[in-house]
Chains A and B, each alone.
Chain A
Amino acid sequence: MDRQTAGFHRATVSSEYQVKAAFLVNFPKYAEWPPEAFAETNSPIVITVLAETNVAEEVQKAIRGRAVNGREIVLQRLASGAEPGVCHILFISAAEQRHSPALLAKLKNASILTVGESEDFLRSGGIINLARQDQKIALQVNLKAAGRARIKISSKLLTVAKLVEGKEE
């Protein structure tokens, strides 16, 4: 069932997934993938979501018409139990978190910025967790996992993050 998202009526408070979607489409500006992650210089950045429809819709709305460094952003939706194909950011919603340990283990060495929203997401090898803290969304980052995926996370992102794990690596 869809929740109302009457943006301009409620300018001061936004739905959780509107904000999370905004984070997702912002991440390409703050992350650097190894060159082999893209076939061509203008290949799109693929955001894959394993999430409910309303969450996917929010991401789609946030993406609309956006490009980063000449790369179009496209959304791909993953069915439960399926594996992503070409993909740069993978978001696993709380409702799908039971799939995340297996999926994260499988994608351990792929250059995919994995994003989740559950307490143990970083522990299972995820790179960024969107944690809800005090009515806001806090960023938690696992640099070790990012290193394994050969993804560079910009220092700007790390300064606003509430928690950064594996800094020494």
Chain B
Amino acid sequence: MKPLRSIPLMGAIGSGRGSWVNKFWNKTGVAGLVLFAAGGVGAADAGSSSTNLLADLPLEDLVNVKVTSVSKKEENLNDAAAAIFVLNNDDLQRSGATTVADALRLVPGMQVAAIDSGNWAISARGFNSQFANKLLVMIDGRTVYSPLFSGVYWDAQQVFLDDVDRIEVIRGPGATVWGANAVDGVINILTKSARDTQGGLIYAGGGDVHLAQGGARYGGQISENTYYRVYGTYQLNDDFQTTSGRSTHDGWDLEKGGFRVDRYIHDDSGHLTWQSDAYGGTLANRTGDLNGFNTLGRWTQRISEHSSYEVQGYFDHTYRNDSLAQAAVETADLSWQHTFGLGEHNDVNWGLGYRFTDSRVSKANSPAVTIVDHNVPLNLFSAFVQDEFKIIPDRLFLTLGTKVEHNDFTGFEVQPSARLSFKPAENQTVWAAVSRAVRTPNEVESKNIINFALGPPVVGPGGGLYVPTLINGMNVKSEVLWAYELGYRIQPGHHVSVDVATFYNDYSHLVSNSPEDFIPGTPVGILEVEPFNTLRAESYGGEAVLTVAPTGSWRLSASYSLLMLHVQGEPASDARTLELNAPTHSVVLRSGYDFTHRVSLDADLRYVDKVDRIAAYVTADIRVSFRPIPNLELALVGQNLLEDHHSEQASLIGAPTTEVPRGFYGTIKWRF
């Protein structure tokens, strides 16, 4: 026979965890056969690969091994014409993060800055702040972006981290599929099917910053093809401090519980999901509180290899009573999606959606807040269509699509995109995209819901005092982004992958707050400050990720992000603030090493450039994990190790700047 060429293409991959390298490696054999041989591949630690262990089993044992499901067709990340990064379950576990927000620090290009113990500023590619409004976040297909203030309350978005399948992060616009407010990024947090979380899991732990954390999950079977899980979690987080060591009274706790049921029908071609969560907690050292619940149903049906549809509906209630106001938001959402092949070369995906949101501000907790209207109901109608055209199968793809929405703030919004992906070789992808996305005004900006005092009184005409107060702007329009992106991915060697994404963003109609009229009053008058679309911005930059797996048990990655942002327009002070609130340079270095299949060491080092009023910082986290028996894991985590404390982002509501402290915690986890 002809000797086989020995190409140890995949030597680095098999360390028994979802490898970063995997997703940069290609799906389709472009030119006939792709050969790779096993002989002398890598220096894999056989003990750390579960597959190797399974392969040691005799057939009579193998037929008794329980299996989870791998979905039949999943998008290959390597081919995607977008800047995508995925944190899988293993990455999450190894990160040592106790919150979704902290886990996102490891994603290249994500700007994550703690404002205090329970508030984060999180965005991508600029415009980061406590009220970052250009990042859309979804949990299992349910939006958690608040229409009230345009943004995400991260403390309420805790999930049972062990049951998260993956967190998909798209930097850049995703509005064609996901709709308005997916301007600078989209985060999809996806939990596992109940079929993949069978059995029990209990964890408990605590430390000096994350004082206590604990949770339990149990998954079982209702009938042959119906699975369930129930879970509950708790976490208690300590106050942070100011630079001078005073407590900022921002400690918080959260209890959350829920269930998920998954039913598979017709040999897995149909999949029904029903899931619900409820949570409650206290904020700011028990002076505030929050709670909420949601229930979601989804039916996905595959009709043929190229055709499927999905129907989803959910209801979501959130309540928050914080230092500003007491507010509740109810959301009901219904959507339909259909995918089908059109001829040999086209895959068409289209969908319709309707969302009803009702926000109520019931009480002002701050003298700065004046309630104008307690209740604002909103309707959102949407439709999208997208076609993936295989110009040259396996080599050149063009995806064209658009979303059309009608919202109660600005009427119709059209958000098209064109994405081109070219694979010059099996191990390389070049992609380019042009897209338009909008950030629709929120209720504070554009509806008569509350007025908000922005600062101390100023001296106005006639020498009287006037409090600058943000009122609603009836004429405020959507902020618009045209984004131009170019990216390249390559796996140059067997253990190395490189992913580079670049962008040029052109923003128009950015909202600023312009002082308008002096309204006299006693004892003080009001200086009406109204939101207007007066600013323009241009930004360019990119993210580069290098992943190296020197051996099967060691992974290293380095990522660098650059953001250059220029904002123009009046008032110049607003333009300047927007420019300054995201770092120009940031770097994340990570290492994950398995000493044996029982002991792992994970470490990261992060550099974040200066932002408005905050100095640049470097910090590091370390996690050591020990598994004396397969079902038991002990972990010790040290966070923000390089300094006693550092600050990351200033508050926008006049609260003192808090410092993120060094912290340690330990956990014990048992599966049964």
A residues sitting closer than 8 Å to B (CB atoms) are: 1-19, 21-23, 25-26, 30, 38-39, 43-44, 46, 52-55, 57-58, 60-66, 72-80, 82, 85-86, 94-95, 98, 119, 132, 134-139, 156-157, 159-160, 162
Cα–Cα, bound, A125→B337 (Å): 37
**Is B342 in the interface zone, CB < 8 Å from A?**
no
Q: Is B49 an interface residue (CB 8 A)?
A: yes
Taking a contact as CB atoms under 8 Å apart, the answer to whether B68 and A60 are in contact is no
B597 and A8 contact, CB distance less than 8 A: yes
| Of listed A7, A134, A135, residue having the most chain B CB within 10 A | A7
Q: B224 near A: Cβ within 8 Å?
A: yes
Q: Is the CB of A5 within 8 A of B17?
A: yes
B305 contacts partner chain A, Cβ-Cβ < 8 Å: yes
B2 partner, pick from A85, A137, A138, beta carbons under 8 A: A85
- Point out the residues of chain A lying under 8 angstroms from B44, CB to CB: 61, 64-65
Q: Report Cα–Cα, A82/B14, bound state, in Å.
A: 27
Q: How far is the CA of A22 from the CA of B23 in the complex (A)?
A: 22
- Given known A-B contacts A23-B62, A160-B63, A98 and B305 have beta carbons under 8 A apart: yes
Q: How far is the CA of A21 from the CA of B19 in the complex (A)?
A: 17
Question: B33 touching A3 by the CB < 8 A rule?
Answer: no
- Are A54 and B65 closer than 8 Å at their CB atoms? no
Within 8 A of A (CB), among B46-63: 46, 48-55, 57-60, 62-63
Which of the residues B4, B10, B73 comes within 8 Å of A46, measured between beta carbons?
A: B4
Chain B residues with Cβ below 8 Å from A44 are 4, 37, 39
**B1-57 interface (Cβ within 8 A of A):** 1-2, 4, 6, 10, 13-14, 16-19, 22-23, 25-39, 41-42, 44, 46, 48-55, 57
Q: Besides A9-B633, A156-B60, 19 other CB < 8 A contacts? A: A1-B76, A3-B88, A4-B89, A6-B90, A7-B51, A8-B627, A10-B50, A10-B671, A12-B630, A13-B66, A13-B199, A14-B50, A44-B39, A64-B41, A76-B33, A79-B33, A132-B67, A134-B224, A136-B65
B77 at the interface (CB under 8 A from A): yes
Residues of B within 8 A of A4 (CB): 17-18, 88-90, 165-166
Q: Are B66 and A12 in contact (CB under 8 A)?
A: yes
Which of B64-102 touch A at CB < 8 Å? 64-77, 86, 88-90, 93
| CB<8 Å pairs between A and B, sample of 29 | A1-B23, A3-B70, A4-B90, A7-B48, A7-B49, A7-B50, A8-B630, A9-B90, A9-B93, A9-B671, A13-B68, A17-B70, A21-B51, A26-B59, A52-B27, A53-B26, A57-B13, A60-B36, A61-B14, A61-B52, A62-B54, A64-B49, A75-B37, A76-B4, A76-B34, A77-B35, A79-B30, A86-B4, A159-B60
Contacts of B630 in A (CB 8 A): 8, 11-12
A25 to B267, CA, bound (A): 26
State the CA gap A57–B46 with chains docked (Å). Answer: 15
Interface of A (DSSP majority class): mixed
Contact partners of A157 in chain B: CB under 8 A: 59
Report the bound CA distance from A65 to B30 in whole Å.
27
Q: Which 4 A-B pairs have the closest CB atoms?
A: A7-B50, A79-B29, A61-B14, A11-B630
Residues of B within 8 A of A15 (CB): 67-70
CA distance A57 to B14 in the complex (A): 8
State in angstroms the CA–CA spacing of A114 and B18 once bound together: 28
B contact face: mostly helix, strand, loop, or mixed: loop
Asked if A3 contacts B18 (CB within 8 A), the reply is: yes
Contact B33 A60 (CB under 8 A): no
B38 contacts A72, CB within 8 Å?
yes
CA distance A7 to B2 in the complex (A): 36
Q: Find the A residue at minimum CB distance from B11.
A: A64
| CA distance in complex: A136, B61 (Å) | 11
B16 touches A160 (CB 8 A): no
Q: Which residues of A contact B31 (CB under 8 A)?
A: 79
Closest chain A residue to B35, Cβ basis: A76
Q: With the chains together, A76 CA to B5 CA distance in Å?
A: 10
A86 to B68, alpha carbons, bound, how many Å?
Answer: 33
B46 partner residues in chain A, CB cutoff 8 A: 64-65
Decide: A82 near B29, CB < 8 A? Known: A4-B90, A13-B198, A14-B68: yes
Q: Shortest Cβ distance from B552 into chain A, in angstroms?
A: 8
* Bound form: Cα–Cα A73–B55 in Å: 13
* B38 A66 Cβ-Cβ under 8 A: yes
Considering only CB atoms, which chain A residue lies closest to B28 in the complex?
A79
Task: Write the nearest CB–CB distance from B305 to chain A, whole angstroms.
Answer: 7
Task: Decide: B50 and A135 in contact? CB cutoff 8 A.
Answer: no
Q: Which residues of the other chain, B, contact A85 by a CB distance below 8 angstroms?
A: 2, 33
- B631 part of interface (Cβ distance < 8 Å): yes
For residue B38, which residue of chain A has the nearest CB?
A63
B596-610 near A? 1/0 per residue, CB < 8 Å: 011000000000000
- Residue of A1, A16, A52 most packed against chain B (CB within 10 A): A1
The 0/1 profile, CB within 8 Å of A marked 1, for residues 608-640 of chain B is: 000000000000000000010011010000000
Given the interface pairs A3-B70, A77-B29, A79-B28, the reply to whether A14 lies near B65 with Cβ below 8 Å is: yes
Of residues 187 to 215 in B, which have CB atoms within 8 Å of A's CB atoms?
196, 198-199
B18–A12 contact, CB under 8 A?
A: no
Distance A111 CA – B205 CA, assembled complex (angstroms): 57
Q: Which residue of A lies closest to B50 (CB)?
A: A7
Which of A64, A77, A135 is in CB contact (< 8 Å) with B52? Answer: A64
| Complex: A14 Cα to B62 Cα, angstroms | 11
Q: Are A79 and B67 in contact (CB under 8 A)?
A: no
- Name A59's closest neighbour in chain B (CB-CB): B51
Chain B min CB distance to A157 (Å): 6
Taking a contact as CB atoms under 8 Å apart, the answer to whether B65 and A137 are in contact is yes
A17, A61, A119, A162 pick with most chain B CB within 10 angstroms: A61
Chain B residue, CB-CB nearest to A47: B38
Q: Which of A2, A25, A64, A136 contacts B66 (CB 8 A)?
A: A136
Contact of A61 among B6, B51, B67 (CB under 8 A): B51
- Bound state CA distance, A136 and B52, in angstroms? 18
Does the CB pair A95–B51 fall under 8 Å? no
Which of B10, B18, B53 is most buried by chain A, counting CB atoms within 10 A of its CB? B10
Given A4-B17, A8-B627, A22-B57, is A72 in contact with B88 using a C-beta cutoff of 8 Å? no
Q: Which of B17, B22, B86 contacts A54 (CB 8 A)?
A: B22
